[in-house]
Amino acid sequence: MSSQSTIPWFDDFMGVAYRYYDLRMNVVPLLTDRKQSAYLWHDTIHWWLDSSIKIRFVETGDKYWFIMGSDSQKPSTNLSFFKVLQKSENYERFKKGHGGEAYLRLGVYTKKLLGDVKKSALCNCSHEARDHDEGDDDVCLYNNCDCKKFTSFQVNLLKRKKTITDIVFLEEKDVKDDPLTWNCLNVNKYSKSERN
Ligand SMILES: [Zn+2]
Ligand SMILES: [Zn+2]
């Protein structure tokens, strides 16, 4: 086995955003805490060699596994990332449009409430803040929208970035041929379901 098998798996992040920014698609693992994102970059991702960064996607129904790992110049603090996520339009857009290259950046995700935003900010229900009642109960007043509370979020992309050129979409039947993916599913899926 390669040294891959000794690198801990990390899934303590919210999800992954796919954004077009700086002329290239960006893959953005999302954290809710700015400090945690700083540690993660400083201790782990900073030491990755761009040419060895791998991201893998394995689809299972309407979900997919996001898997990311790399060789590190500081193996003692290296981590590999994974998360099982819901497929989304942005994910599909990334799948079609990445062209074999992407930037890796971390993002900090902040939830916004009605009092934090401009009138034109969009709620998750797709209507603007001005369409929401400003009383205690900020229900959406737009036609027959059933949104009960204004919620929106903001993603701040951190400046530092790495370039990823090893991007592969796999089917589950093929994961055995890909050491990073195989290790991930083995540790985080197969060995767990056997124990149940
Ligand atoms: Zn609405
Ligand atoms: Zn709403």
Residue 98 has pLDDT above 60, yes or no: yes
Measured CA to CA in angstroms, residue 155 lies from 23, 27, 59, 66, 137 at distances of 18, 12, 25, 19, 25
Q: What's residue 86's pLDDT?
A: 96
d(CA 46, ligand 1 centre) in Å? 41
Residue 1 has pLDDT above 60, yes or no: no
d(CA 85, ligand 1 centre) in Å? 25
d(CA 115, ligand 1 centre) in Å? 16
pTM of the shown model: 0.84
Residue 195 has pLDDT above 90, yes or no: no
Smallest-distance ligand from the CA of 145: 1
d(CA 137, ligand 2 centre) in Å? 11
Joined together, the tokens standing for residue 93 give 């857009």
The average pLDDT across 52-68 equals: 97
Q: Of 184, 185, 190, 181, which is closest to residue 56 (Cα–Cα)?
A: 181
pLDDT cut 90: percent of the chain above it: 82
d(CA 109, ligand 1 centre) in Å? 22
| Residues measured by CB to lie within 5 Å of ligand 1, the ion | 125, 127, 140, 142, 145, 147
The average pLDDT across 124-140 equals: 90
**pLDDT grade, residue 153 (50/70/90)?**
confident
The average pLDDT across 3-27 equals: 87
Residue 113 has pLDDT above 90, yes or no: no
Smallest-distance ligand from the CA of 129: 2
Smallest-distance ligand from the CA of 112: 2
**pLDDT grade, residue 4 (50/70/90)?**
low
Question: Which residues lie across from 20 on neighbouring strands?
Answer: 25
d(CA 116, ligand 1 centre) in Å? 17
Q: What's residue 50's pLDDT?
A: 97
d(CA 94, ligand 2 centre) in Å? 27
d(CA 106, ligand 1 centre) in Å? 30
Alpha-helical segments (H) within the chain: 34-43, 89-97, 179-185, 191-195
Q: In which residue are the tokens 């086995």 written?
A: 1
Burial group, residue 121, by CB count within 10 angstroms (0-12, 13-18, 19+): middle
Q: How far is 135 from 150, CA to CA, in rounded Å? A: 11
**pLDDT grade, residue 148 (50/70/90)?**
very high
d(CA 1, ligand 2 centre) in Å? 51
